């Protein structure tokens, strides 16, 4: 077996919801990154999310965006590779009294596994770990209705991106860094029209590229 395959964890392994939330709530870097993420993503959602929408969320994690989405639209379907994260999210949804969210185990590359199409899709995080970005974007596009929107992010090939790459390496997760030009090109190749871009990070060149796009 290839050494890298023995070293790197599978997509859903090794995630600890409590530690994940602790980082984004109690560390300076985590708090800053989450605040920037939310400012950009909520700003983008403000112009495209409607109360009647059905939304697909790949990689909801602990539900930072799932809960507000569910309160502002008709239905949310989440697909999460980590059983630990999914169980945490289910408990959170129950505590919040939200009944319009369906949770599933799975990966972005596997698609939804059904013929249902969605008005919008949110993908914050999963594309970090997809080797073939075009494959991931094709699966995302296939889940959208014609004219449906998506918001997703990818880690950038910047000094801060490489710092994140090393952090993930110690956690035994493989991250794939992208350039802005590559991301835009592949997004358009799969039939998504890029509408808006944003950058998140604690340095000038940033860590993540946030993309809002729409299916033709």
Q: What pLDDT digit, counting tens, does each position of 105-140 carry?
A: 988 877 666 578 999 999 999 999 999 999 999 999
For residue 116, give its domain range: 3-215
What local confidence, expressed as pLDDT, does residue 138 receive? 94
Instruction: Read off the pLDDT of each residue in 143-171 and give the average, rounded to a whole number.
Output: 95
Question: Is 77:55 a contact under the CB 8 Å cutoff?
Answer: yes
pLDDT digits (tens, 9 = 90+) for 173-212: 999 999 999 999 999 999 999 999 999 999 999 999 999 9
What rounded mean pLDDT belongs to the chain?
A: 92
Question: Is 214:141 a contact under the CB 8 Å cutoff?
Answer: no
Question: Is 205:158 a contact under the CB 8 Å cutoff?
Answer: yes
What local confidence, expressed as pLDDT, does residue 111 receive? 66
CATH no. for residue 29?
3.40.50.150
Contacts of 96 (CB under 8 A, 6+ apart): 67, 70
Instruction: Say how far residue 169 (Cα) sits from the centre of its chain.
Output: 19
pTM given for the model: 0.94
- The rounded percent of the chain whose pLDDT value lies above 70 is 94
Count of the separate structural domains present in the chain = 1
């Amino acid at each position: 077996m290839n050494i890298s395959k023995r070293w790197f964890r599978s997509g859903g392994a090794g995630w600890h919801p409590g530690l994940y939330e602790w980082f984004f709530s109690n560390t300076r870097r985590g708090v800053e990154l989450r605040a920037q993420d939310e400012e950009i993503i909520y700003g983008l959602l403000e112009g495209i999310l409607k109360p009647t929408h059905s939304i697909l969320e790949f990689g909801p994690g602990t539900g930072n965006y799932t809960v507000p989405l569910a309160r502002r639209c008709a239905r949310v379907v989440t697909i999460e590779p980590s059983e630990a994260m999914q169980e945490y999210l289910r408990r959170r949804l129950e505590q919040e009294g939200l009944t319009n969210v369906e949770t599933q185990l799975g990966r972005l590359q596997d698609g939804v596994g059904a013929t249902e199409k969605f008005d919008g899709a949110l993908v914050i995080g999963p594309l970090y770990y997809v080797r073939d970005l075009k494959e991931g974007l094709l699966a995302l596009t296939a889940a959208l209705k014609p004219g449906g929107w998506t918001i997703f992010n990818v880690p950038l090939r910047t000094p801060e991106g490489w710092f994140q790459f090393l952090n993930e390496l110690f956690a035994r997760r493989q991250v794939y860094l992208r350039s802005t030009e590559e991301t835009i090109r592949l997004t358009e190749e799969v039939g998504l029209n890029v509408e808006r871009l944003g950058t998140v990070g604690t340095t000038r060149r940033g860590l993540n590229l946030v993309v809002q796009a729409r299916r033709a």
